[in-house]
């Protein structure tokens, strides 16, 4: 015995398939595409996922974030700069809200002892300093030096390390670069990233467009740890 369902015209059954596909696709698009992560902004942290020609497209409230820094001192402020906004944003509530507080910065280095002290590399790669939590920045004794990257010594907070823009030099200073000393010889390429080894204070890691280097404070010898042609 046949049923009405079995006598349905094939064209009717097939017309249901696109609808079913759309419902399944919609359900998939509502699932997080970044499992384990959540958006916190700026602008409320809303990330919208929509379908365009059957493919998921993520619409973000802020595109091209360039800088992200977290102050290790209370109240643990979070700072963010984005190229398309040309502003510096601050959050004091773990990203629930954001407030623009100043111009764009390429890099910020918070002081671990004081949330009010920040060092920043501006759009033109000059070193500036803030003593009011980023509300205003002033020049430093570094003068016309141009910096590609900056890092603070975790053991000696007054000590800064920097890679000079357009050069292979890495320098250090305890007085905001009024005076400075070069660390080892020039590396190959321009220093674009610096990190202090957490297991051996004084050991400095540097990355350029060509290789990763490490400076050993005991041997006082720099060496390459990797190379890219």
Query: Residue 205's CB: how many other CB atoms inside 10 A?
Result: 15
Output the average pLDDT for the chain.
75
* Domain that residue 31 falls in: 10-58
Q: Is 199 contained in some domain?
A: yes
Please report which confidence band the pLDDT of residue 40 belongs to, taking 50, 70 and 90 as the band edges.
Answer: low
Q: Which of the pair, 65 or 72, is modelled with greater confidence?
A: 72
Q: Is 93 contained in some domain?
A: no
What's the average model confidence in pLDDT over 147-152?
93
Q: Is 158 contained in some domain?
A: yes
Q: Is 78 contained in some domain?
A: no
- Over 70: is that where the pLDDT of 20 sits? no
- Report the run of H or E that residue 160 belongs to, with start and end: strand 160-164
Q: What separation in angstroms does the CA of 106 have from each of 173, 197, 214? A: 20, 23, 24
Query: Residue 168's CB: how many other CB atoms inside 10 A?
Result: 17
Number of domains present in the structure of the chain: 2
Contacts 24+ apart (CB under 8 A), 118-121: 118/71, 118/79, 119/150, 119/152, 119/160, 121/147, 121/149, 121/150
What's the average model confidence in pLDDT over 126-153?
92
Question: What is residue 215's predicted lDDT score, i.e. its pLDDT?
Answer: 92
Q: What percent of the chain has pLDDT over 70?
A: 65
Q: Is 186 contained in some domain?
A: yes
CATH number at residue 169: 2.20.25
Q: Is 125 contained in some domain?
A: no
Q: Is 72 contained in some domain?
A: no
Task: Tell me the whole-structure pTM to 2 decimals.
Answer: 0.68
Q: Give the single-character DSSP code of 43.
A: G
CA–CA separation, 211 and 213 (whole Å): 6
Query: Residue 6's CB: how many other CB atoms inside 10 A?
Result: 7
CA–CA separation, 191 and 210 (whole Å): 10
Q: What separation in angstroms does the CA of 51 have from each of 22, 28, 37, 42, 119? A: 10, 10, 21, 23, 42
Positions of E strands within 41-159: 48-52, 55-59, 65-70, 78-82, 87-91, 99-103, 105-110, 118-122, 127-130, 138-139, 147-152
Structure tokens at 72: 């290790």
Q: Is 3 contained in some domain?
A: no
Predicted confidence (pLDDT) per residue in 178-228, tens digit: 999 999 999 999 998 999 988 887 789 999 888 899 998 765 544 444 444
Predicted confidence (pLDDT) per residue in 214-223, tens digit: 998 765 544 4
CA neighbor of 124 nearest in space, from 142, 153, 104, 95: 104
Question: What is residue 23's predicted lDDT score, i.e. its pLDDT?
Answer: 37
């Amino acid at each position: 015995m046949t049923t009405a369902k079995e006598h349905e015209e094939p064209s009717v059954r097939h017309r249901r398939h696109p609808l079913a596909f759309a419902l399944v696709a919609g359900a998939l698009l509502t699932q997080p595409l970044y499992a384990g992560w959540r958006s916190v902004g700026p602008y409320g942290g809303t990330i919208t996922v929509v379908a365009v020609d059957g493919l998921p497209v993520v619409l973000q409230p802020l595109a091209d974030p360039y800088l992200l820094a977290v102050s290790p001192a209370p109240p643990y402020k979070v700072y963010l700069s984005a190229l398309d906004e040309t502003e510096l944003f601050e959050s004091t509530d773990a990203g629930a809200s954001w407030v623009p507080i100043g111009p764009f910065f390429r890099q910020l280095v918070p002081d671990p002892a004081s949330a009010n002290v920040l060092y920043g590399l501006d759009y033109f790669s000059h070193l500036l300093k803030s003593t009011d939590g980023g509300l205003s920045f002033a020049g430093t004794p570094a003068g016309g030096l141009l910096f590609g990257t900056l890092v603070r010594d975790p053991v000696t907070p007054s000590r800064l390390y920097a890679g000079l823009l357009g050069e292979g030099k890495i320098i250090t200073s305890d007085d905001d670069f009024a005076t400075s000393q070069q660390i080892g010889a020039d590396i190959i390429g321009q220093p674009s990233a610096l990190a202090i080894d957490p297991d051996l204070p004084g050991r400095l890691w540097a990355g350029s467009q060509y290789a990763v280097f490490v400076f050993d404070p005991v041997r006082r010898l720099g060496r390459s740890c990797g190379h890219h042609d």
